Amino acid sequence: MSEQALKQQIQNLKKHNARLARLARDARSKLSAALDGTGLCLWQLDIPSGKLIIYNRRWGSMLGYQPKELNAQFDVWREHLHPDDRQMVLDAFYDHLNGKTPFYEALHRMQHKNGTISWVLDRGRVSEWDEHGNPLRVTGTHIDMTKEKQYEEQLALLANHDPLTGLANRHALVKHFAQLKDQGPLCVAFIDLDDFKSVNDTFGHRSGDELLIQLSKRLGETCPEGSIVGRLGGDEFVLLLPFTLSSLWVNSTAHKCLQAALTPFELDNGQARVGASIGIDEVQPEDDFINALRRADQSMYQIKHTGKNGVAIGSTLISISRTGTDA
């Protein structure tokens, strides 16, 4: 081959190599854009050196770090695992390296630079072995699941809490009822506000909602530890009190709750007053939540029929308070 022909062949090879390099860069750019659009990060770990190669996102960006602020190393990743999840994640990783599982997968928390928590779904698989069958490289993906976990928490909150007051809703009250009933004595208190409609008519529904929010806080501060405060809807509240009907805790809690309702409420457009009719009954062995609540409701209606703003414990009218003090 002549020297001229050899030079021409070298030149052709350089052009071909440059073309392949452009294609590789273009492919990597498209892959990076596609993966970044899904929040998916492609990584590879060199096991002997502990070096991490992040293909489409800068290492640490998910945790709030600037480029080069964190080294892409296995030890650095391990240090940023949440302490409560660290052992679980490492066990899953090494189980795969040791051949106990076909792949590595872990949904876990990592510590963000600002002190918050990031959730990550991490997956990987050994992609290269040495001549002795020992794993050399692991290739995998991780995806930021923080928003998804926050959404799950919001759904769980909505499933078990009243959206206006944050108190336990009916669904949650049923679950708490079953748990507390198994643990010992239990009373159910039914609270129905008196004259609440006039607040909505006079001040408006937004102010009515604010009154309910304020009352919810008062009830939560009034009830003893271990009690559950819930809202059925409207102006109806329920207390689960883990005491016998004859307990002084039941009597004092009921009267404190009555006083919480009778104390005026400072709203944006004025001062509002309501009252409360409270009925309490003790849960029997055969009771479910509906039956126990029905008897507490019946006790409450004793107060409604005798002037409102009072407390009835069981079938006995204990007290009526029209001015905020026991009659």
C-alpha 327/C-alpha 324 separation (Å) is 9
Burial grade of 148 (CB within 10 A; 0-12, 13-18, 19 or more): middle
Neighbouring residues of 140: CB distance < 8 A, sequence distance ≥ 6: 42, 43, 44, 45, 104, 122, 123, 124, 125
Cα–Cα distance measured from residue 236 to residue 251, given in angstroms and rounded to the nearest whole number: 19
Neighbouring CB atoms inside 10 A of 297's CB total 16
CB 188 within 8 A of CB 296: yes
- Smallest CA-to-CA distance from 265 within 199, 184, 316 is with 199
Helix boundaries (H) for 188-241:
196-203, 205-222
Q: Please give the biggest Cα pair distance in the chain.
A: 120
Q: Which of 162, 194, 235, 287 is catalytic?
A: 235
Is 201 catalytic? The answer is no
**SS3 of residue 39 by DSSP:** coil
Catalytic residue annotation: 235
